[in-house]
Structure formats: structure tokens, C-alpha cells
Amino acid sequence: MSKILVIDTATKYIYLSLVINGVEKDYVYQEGINNHSVTIIPLLDEMLKKENLTLKEVDEIIVGIGPGSYTGVRIGVTVAKMIGYLNSISVKTVSSLALIASTSKEKNIIPFIDARRGNAFMAHFNNKDNMLIRIEEDCLENIEQYKSAHDFEFDFIEGGKPDISKIINSKLLQSVENVHDLKPNYLRITEAERNKR
């Protein structure tokens, strides 16, 4: 019996999921108030208790590594690393934009996460046979310029509860060889780094 724990905190929403034998048994998808670091562990604990599971019984962790909120991305990745390392659980990564794209049923999807000043983190995916296919890599671009460069109909989507079965069926997961090497995909330097330069 395979048991997969999914964690994503890259946006204002926290998404946790428990997938057992390919079926999403329980999930949390809720808007936070800049408090993912406070809510994530109690929410995880509650979800596991509902299924009478302990962390040691989890076989695999899938974590959204961004791009997105610098602090938000770091929270999810840190928790996944900690759980994976302490319990010897394999970890796989997925783009947080792919998780957003999975909510759409349209053929062409451009998921986005607002990055302020008219910019956003974006990518381009296709839906095909309950799978997502990546067409363009995650990027940080001006929203209007990126949209105008695509001359076909697409679903420009910012959120929604991920369809985790679509993610698992797709070839978008990356295995982490050494959990200590797992790093978020920020796609931009932090304000502190900019100021230092």
C-alpha cells in the first residue's frame, strides 16, 4: 500500500494531501494569513491522525518547490526535508506552477503567481489524457508581455485545489537523491541580496 504526502506552501494557499494507493484520501487547501509556518504542522498531524497513520508509515513526499513567495516556498521545502530526513522517506519535487495548472481542464494552461509590479511567475502546460505536459519552463516575466507572446487560447489561472492524480500521472516529478541538497526554486534573488549588491 503506497502512502504519499504532498506539501505546497508557495502561494497564499497551503495545500496538503494524503494519497493512498493512488487515491487522495484527505487534503487541506486553505488560504493562510502569512501563517503557513504556524499552521502546517498541526494540519499535517490532524490529517495523518484521521487516517490512523504516523509519519514513519509515509512512503514518499512530494513537495512544491516554487516559484512563489520566498518565505512560503521555504516553509514547505524545509518541512519536507525535515520529515524526509528524520524518517528516511524518499522525496520528490514538483513545480508549484504545475500544481496550479493541474486544476484546469483546458488544453493550454498558463498558471501564474503574482510577483508584483506587473510581473508574475508563469509557465505553459498542456492537458492530455489526465496528464500535464510541460511546454515552457517556469519563468518570471512581465504578465502582459508573456500573455501577448502566446497567440492561442489559454486558461490563465492563479489558483484552485490541485488535481494531485494528474500530477502523479505526469512526468513532472523529480526524485531527490540527497535531501540535504534540496533547494527551492525562487527564480529571483531576495530583497536582502539585492540590497547587498
Domains in the chain: ranges and CATH: 3-196 (3.30.420.40)
Task: Give the per-residue pLDDT at 197.
Answer: 44
Q: Cα–Cα distances in Å, from 116 out to 10, 75, 141?
A: 15, 21, 11
Q: Return the pLDDT at 189.
A: 56
18 alpha carbon, distance to own chain's centre: 14
Q: What is the pLDDT of residues 106-163, one digit of tens each?
A: 999 999 999 999 999 999 999 999 899 999 999 999 999 999 999 999 999 999 999 9
Residues of the chain below pLDDT 70: 189-197
What is the DSSP-derived secondary structure letter of residue 185? -
Helix, strand and coil in the chain, % to nearest 5: 30, 35, 35
- What's the pLDDT score for residue 195? 42
The pTM score is 0.94
189 vs 67: CA distance, rounded Å: 12
What is the per-residue pLDDT for 194?
42
CA atoms within 13 A on the CB side of 66: 23
Distance, in Å, from the CA atom of 83 to the CA atom of 68, rounded to the nearest integer, reads 22
Residues 6+ apart with CB under 8 A from 49: none
Predicted local confidence at residue 22, as pLDDT = 93
Whole-number Å distance between alpha carbons of 52 and 131: 30
Residue whose entry in the numeric block shows the C-alpha cell 517556469: 138
